[in-house]
Amino acid sequence: MPAESFQVDVNPAVLSWARESAGYNLPEVAERCRIPENAIAGWESGRPQPTWSDLRKLAKLYRRPVASLLLAVPPEEAPTPTDYRTLPDAKKELSPDTRFAIRTARWLLRRARELEAQLGVEQPSQAAAVRLSDDPDDVARDLRRRVGVTVSEQTRWGSIGEALARWRAAVEAQRVFVFQFRAPVKELRGFSHVEEGCPAIALNQKDAISARIFTLFHEYTHLLIARPGMCLPEEGQFRESKPLEKFCNGVAGSVLIPRADFEPRLPPSPTDEAIAELAQHYRVSRYVVLGRMRTLGAVSTEAYRQITGRWETQRAGGPGPKRRQKGGPSRTTRCLNERGRLFVSVVLEAAKRDVIPASDATSYLGIRLKDYPALASKVK
């Protein structure tokens, strides 16, 4: 008998849980694993049992360890984050990639909270710091003071990429973990989550950098109002109908373009050139600039609709997506991009104090042991 052809006694309910929680239906699993659909359906009903080779294929597709398919009963998992997505073209069903991103971010946050508790790090209170009835500009001023970034400093950043890195570092300095994931942008631009008082924000790496900056503060506002969840923030703040999403968009726009600094700079007319110049000045997208102009009454709703409609038409007729370059970032760079400096520093400190072994540290960080010194040098 081949080494992996022996049958394995598994709980059919566990197989169903693993598939459904990963976001796959039976035909999709059959196609991707090259296994007859009726065989998979049979395993999930207890007749017959899958082989070890079959389990490995399923585990790889579901992105779970094989051991999870051998559990006696399906584990209890936290429900899907509260859904605040409201854009008309939002894809409401979560794909396997999105489900995996949410699962990974939650796993990282649980590990971070456990390590912080062992290291004696106290988390600030996560009681609601703002109310939906508050003025977004007032909330934004307080948030700016909290993260400690001045407008003068913001406008001196060299690029939009530097802006994201600086804003992320400022948020992480408040002990809010900021992760990045890859998922379809039409499904999810970001989400926020709290684990035993430990807060986190997750941004979609497939989104534009300027959009991620906006999402960062949209989700930070969700944390401040103590209502974390999944979002598709709209930078222009036009189509959102839910009061909470409109409020979070308003705060995010005001954080990035403070009213006191912006009003003296308002152009006499909303030309593309004037908007692009302001977007470059604040290191934001032109949608954020136009949205702020509309919020402050410098642009009518009708003008806003016409301008954004023209931009969308231009974008639809533009060049296709750029081809990804071969090679990609190093494991250490990818680790910092995805997990963030705060998470990396917590794991490295835990390993340094022998709270966890190096093998656990590399598992949490997604690196190899030989990458450890290089990563440690990057977060000093």
DSSP assignment of 313-341: HHHHTS--PPPPPSS---HHHHHHHHHHH
Cβ atoms < 10 Å from Cβ of 235: 27
Note the pLDDT of residue 146: 92
Lowest-confidence pick of 53-62, 84-93, 195-204, 245-254:
84-93
Reply yes or no on whether the pLDDT at 253 is more than 50.
yes
Note the pLDDT of residue 6: 84
Mean pLDDT across 330-339: 95
Whether 336 contacts 380, CB under 8 Å: no
Q: Which amino acid is at 168?
A: R
- Supply the DSSP symbol for 83: B
Q: Which tokens sit at 366?
A: 């997604």
Q: Which amino acid is at 182?
A: R
Higher pLDDT, 198 or 242: 198
Q: What is the pTM of this model?
A: 0.92
Q: In angstroms, rounded to a whole number, what is the distance separating the alpha carbons of residues 217 and 131?
A: 16
Note the pLDDT of residue 47: 83
Collapsing DSSP to helix, strand or coil, 14 comes out as helix
Collapsing DSSP to helix, strand or coil, 72 comes out as coil
> In 3D, which of 294, 247, 31 has the Cα closest to residue 131?
247
Question: Which residue is listed with tokens 């007032």?
Answer: 138
Reply yes or no on whether the pLDDT at 1 is more than 60.
no
Domain ranges of the chain: 12-70, 96-257, 331-378
Q: In angstroms, rounded to a whole number, what is the distance separating the alpha carbons of residues 123 and 58?
A: 38
| pLDDT tens track for 131-160 | 999 999 999 999 999 999 999 999 999 999
Reply yes or no on whether the pLDDT at 85 is more than 50.
yes
- What's phi and psi for 9, nearest 5 deg? -80, 110
Which CATH superfamily hosts domain 12-70?
Answer: lambda repressor-like DNA-binding domains (1.10.260.40)
Reply yes or no on whether the pLDDT at 363 is more than 90.
yes
Mean pLDDT across 27-34: 96
- What's phi and psi for 259, nearest 5 deg? -60, -45
The separation between CA 271 and the C-alpha centre of its own chain, rounded to angstroms, equals: 33
Q: Which tokens sit at 306?
A: 């016409």
Whether 121 contacts 353, CB under 8 Å: no
Lowest-confidence pick of 95-104, 166-175, 316-325, 329-338:
316-325
Reply yes or no on whether the pLDDT at 318 is more than 80.
no
Q: Which tokens sit at 107?
A: 């796993």
Mean pLDDT across 57-73: 96
> In 3D, which of 359, 364, 374 has the Cα closest to residue 110?
364
Q: In angstroms, rounded to a whole number, what is the distance separating the alpha carbons of residues 176 and 262?
A: 28
Under the banding of pLDDT at 50, 70 and 90, the label for residue 78 is: confident
Residues 275, 208, 139, 224: what is their CA dihedral angle, to the nearest 10 degrees?
170
Length of the chain: 380
The percent of residues above 70 in pLDDT, for the chain, comes to 92
| pLDDT tens track for 171-185 | 999 999 999 999 999
Q: Which residues contact 2 (CB under 8 A, 6 or more apart)?
A: none
